[in-house]
């Protein structure tokens, strides 16, 4: 079945440093979504990417969708303590298939 | 954004009893709801997909007789863990999607502990 892997599994960064998590799917995706889950909380939608090579920005967050639509990345510039949490990508494999497969997640901790 | 309410947030039960978890979309009609299970520090594992008025579609390895899902209305889906055992202890999260089929709105999750 479809597998979605993320690296790294854990990332500890000094506040102010940048952070990147990478998402790789075993199959071509129709779209990819990113979610953030704070410790003890539930996942919250961040963004959806649909087009090959698409890049979207939300303030300090930059999201990319690979040309082959099999990988994606999330980059955070100048991390803040509020960025703490686990970031999941979630991919939809085929049009008409409503199921999202979640990535393994990257847990970000910030050292003040 | 849209709100999905999940209840109860925490439940402790004895082994052998059944537990029902409710998932409600408060301000939109959820044509599709998903139920996930999440182990500590792990990803979300999809258990089943439910569409209003039809039988749920279960993922491979998920026992449909163990985890009963009902999606009787466009705003409510329930997950019943039948004859719960300690290995069923976990964090269960529902999510809902409206007719646009875009982002998922998640409930707050239900932490089940089976003694």
Q: Read off the tokens for B27.
A: 């301000």
CB contact under 8 A, A42 and B93: yes
- Residue of chain B minimizing CA distance to A47: B103
Residues of A with CB under 8 A from a CB of B: 1, 33, 35, 41-45, 48, 88, 90, 98-105, 107
Chain A residues whose CB is inside 8 A of the B103 CB are 33, 45, 48
> Taking all residues of chain A, what is their mean pLDDT, rounded to a whole number?
93
- In this prediction, residue A94 has a pLDDT band, given cuts at 50, 70 and 90, of low
What span, in angstroms and rounded, lies between the C-alpha atoms of A18 and A63?
14
Confidence of residue B97 (pLDDT cuts 50, 70, 90): confident
The alpha-carbon gap from B106 to the nearest alpha carbon of chain A, in Å, equals: 6
Q: Which of A6, A31, A1 lies closest to A20 in space, CA to CA?
A: A6
Distance CA B33, CA A44 (A): 16
Q: Write the CB contacts of A67 (distance below 8 Å, at least 6 apart in sequence).
A: A52, A53
A73 vs A2, which has greater pLDDT? A73
Measured in angstroms, the CA of A45 and the nearest CA of chain B are apart by 7
Confidence of residue A53 (pLDDT cuts 50, 70, 90): very high
Do B110 and B22 form a contact (C-beta atoms < 8 A)? no
Residue B76 has pLDDT above 70, yes or no: yes
Residues of chain A contacting B105 with CB distance shorter than 8 Å: 45
Which residues are CB-neighbours of B100 under 8 A, at least 6 positions away? none
């Amino acid at each position: 079945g479809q597998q979605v892997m993320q690296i790294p599994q854990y990332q500890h960064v000094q506040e102010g440093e940048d952070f990147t998590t990478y998402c790789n799917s075993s199959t071509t995706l129709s779209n990819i979504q990113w979610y953030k889950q704070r410790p003890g909380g539930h996942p919250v939608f961040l963004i959806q990417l649909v087009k090959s090579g698409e890049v979207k920005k939300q303030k300090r967050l930059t999201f990319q969708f690979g040309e082959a639509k099999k990988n994606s990345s999330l980059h955070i510039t100048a991390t803040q303590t509020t960025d703490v949490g686990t970031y999941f990508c979630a991919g939809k494999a085929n049009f008409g298939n409503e199921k999202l497969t979640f990535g393994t997640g990257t847990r970000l901790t910030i050292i003040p | 954004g849209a709100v999905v309410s999940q209840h109860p947030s925490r439940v402790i039960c004895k082994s052998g009893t059944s537990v029902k978890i409710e998932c409600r979309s408060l301000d939109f009609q959820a044509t599709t709801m998903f139920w996930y299970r999440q182990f500590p520090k792990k990803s979300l594992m999809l258990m089943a997909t439910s569409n209003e008025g039809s039988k749920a579609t279960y993922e491979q390895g998920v026992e449909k007789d163990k985890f009963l899902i009902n999606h009787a209305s466009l705003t409510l889906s329930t997950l019943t863990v039948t004859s719960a055992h300690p290995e069923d202890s976990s964090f269960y999260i529902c999510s809902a999607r409206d007719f646009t089929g875009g982002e998922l709105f998640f409930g707050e999750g239900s932490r089940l502990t089976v003694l």
